């Protein structure tokens, strides 16, 4: 299956927003860099905790503020929400290529989104020095995305090269 093939597929940001959420997101975007932006995003989250647009906005806020612990919490929550919608196992470690085949029948766009969040979460783990978890997440992504359409192999190759350089440096 080609994960770049998603013509006529609904994407996470196509979901209709509940009343009152869009103004909160717009105000948060207009207030970026000010303390009020986080409060607006958290209010949106409390009003619509399963809304993927809200989770992505909150994740991006924390990621670009270099608050990786908070970004990781939101990424994990996003994986949980998307996995429920796709009827995937709760734990990403339990994913198997067969699950992907079933999930694509539900929504190619949401499946691609889920896998991109898995990649992002693995990347955050690597940035935080959690190499074992980050590597495992990228290896799972590569197992599920056999054509490497989402670029997980590039990140894994960088990790392997970095580890090899450290070993060589230590020798």
Give the tens place of pLDDT for each residue, 19-42: 999 999 999 999 998 889 999 999
Write down the pLDDT at residue 14: 63
Rounded Cα distance, 130 and 116, in Å: 19
Write down the pLDDT at residue 104: 87
Q: What is the largest CA-CA distance in the chain?
A: 61
Cα dihedral 152, 158, 164, 166 in deg (nearest 10): -130
10 vs 163, higher pLDDT: 163
Domain boundaries, the chain: 12-170
Write down the pLDDT at residue 8: 52
Query: Residues 6 or more apart from 167 whose CB is under 8 A from it?
Result: none
Rounded Cα distance, 76 and 120, in Å: 10
Model pTM score: 0.86
3-state SS class at 1: coil
Query: What is the CATH T-level fold of the domain 12-170, as seen in this structure?
Result: 1.25.40
**pLDDT tens digit sequence for 108-131:** 999 999 999 999 999 999 999 999
């Amino acid at each position: 299956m080609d994960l770049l093939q998603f013509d006529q597929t609904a994407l996470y940001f196509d979901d209709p927003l509940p009343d009152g959420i869009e103004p909160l997101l717009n105000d948060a975007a207009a207030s970026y860099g000010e303390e009020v932006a986080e409060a607006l995003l958290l209010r949106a989250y409390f009003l619509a905790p399963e809304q993927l647009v809200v989770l992505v906005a909150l994740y991006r806020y924390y990621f670009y503020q270099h608050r990786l612990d908070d970004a990781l919490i939101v990424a994990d929550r996003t994986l949980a929400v998307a996995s429920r919608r796709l009827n995937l196992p709760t734990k990403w470690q339990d994913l198997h290529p067969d699950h992907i085949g079933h999930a694509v029948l539900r929504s190619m766009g949401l499946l691609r989104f889920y896998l991109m969040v898995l990649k992002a979460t693995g990347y955050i783990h690597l940035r935080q020095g959690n190499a074992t978890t980050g590597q495992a997440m990228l290896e799972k992504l590569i197992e599920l995305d056999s054509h490497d359409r989402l670029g997980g192999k590039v990140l894994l190759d960088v990790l392997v090269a970095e580890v090899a350089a450290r070993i060589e440096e230590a020798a």
